[in-house]
């Protein structure tokens, strides 16, 4: 199914009310409790981030490696995260960055060890990689989606599968939130509000074109 089931962004330019998970993560971070903040982030978003990476890479080894890069950048970047986006949006910025980086450097070596608690929390998530991959391989839509460019795949996953707001998707695809640099994805400035609005509108149109294309492909694909 490729319909846009998520509701439109009724609040316009207004910032959405933070969820309980976002408030808990921010409270821990502002108290300098980085382990607690990272743990809360993985508890809230770790499963969906791994699912996104599996959908994007369609390969267990690549998805696991990209998830390792994501974890490293999350752990390293938390102290510098400026809360100019939600943690969920920034997590997808990091995940997209991790997938791209893994594609460029498949044999990534971790720059610094992770906190053992974070490693322990991530371990059960990793066991789900094979299950996610099997689901992706059985899904006709996922197979067709895999033929698209990575950012078109991300657009579909974040809007249809995750229900992210258009403005958040614009930040993710721009490498916005709090950054998406080659080595320091926490340092780049977020997009100015007018640019976010412009890109969000463009993404809506791009999404409609993708929906039409996918529906046509599904209709012509063998059952």
Q: How confident is the model at residue 110 (pLDDT cuts 50, 70, 90)?
A: low
Question: For residues 79 and 159, is the Cβ–Cβ distance under 8 A?
Answer: no
Angle at which helices 34-57 and 116-126 cross, to 10°: 30
What pLDDT score does 107 carry?
57
What is the arithmetic mean of pLDDT over 74-89?
93
What pLDDT score does 179 carry?
42
20 or 216: whose pLDDT is higher?
20
What is the arithmetic mean of pLDDT over 111-120?
72
Single out the residue of 46, 44, 48 nearest to residue 18, CA to CA. Answer: 44
Where are the chain's structural domains?
Answer: 20-220
Check whether 192 has a pLDDT greater than 90: no
């Amino acid at each position: 199914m490729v319909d846009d089931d998520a509701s439109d962004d009724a609040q316009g330019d207004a910032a959405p009310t933070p969820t309980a998970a976002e408030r808990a993560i921010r409270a821990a971070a502002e108290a300098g409790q980085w382990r607690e903040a990272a743990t809360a982030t993985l508890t809230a978003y770790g499963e969906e981030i791994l699912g996104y990476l599996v959908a994007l890479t369609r390969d267990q080894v690549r998805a696991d490696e990209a998830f390792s890069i994501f974890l490293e950048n999350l752990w390293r970047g938390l102290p510098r995260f400026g809360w100019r986006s939600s943690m969920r949006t920034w997590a997808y910025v990091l995940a997209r960055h991790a997938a791209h980086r893994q594609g460029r450097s498949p044999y990534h070596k971790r720059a610094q060890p992770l906190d053992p608690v974070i490693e322990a929390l991530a371990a059960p998530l990793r066991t789900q990689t094979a299950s996610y991959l099997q689901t992706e391989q059985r899904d006709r839509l996922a197979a067709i989606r895999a033929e698209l460019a990575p950012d078109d795949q991300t657009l579909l996953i974040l809007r249809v599968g995750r229900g992210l707001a258009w403005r958040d998707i614009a930040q993710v695809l721009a490498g916005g939130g709090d950054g998406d640099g080659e080595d320091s994805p926490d340092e780049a400035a977020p997009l100015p509000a007018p640019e976010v609005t412009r890109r969000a509108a463009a993404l809506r149109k791009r999404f409609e074109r993708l929906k039409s294309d996918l529906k046509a492909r599904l209709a012509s694909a063998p059952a």
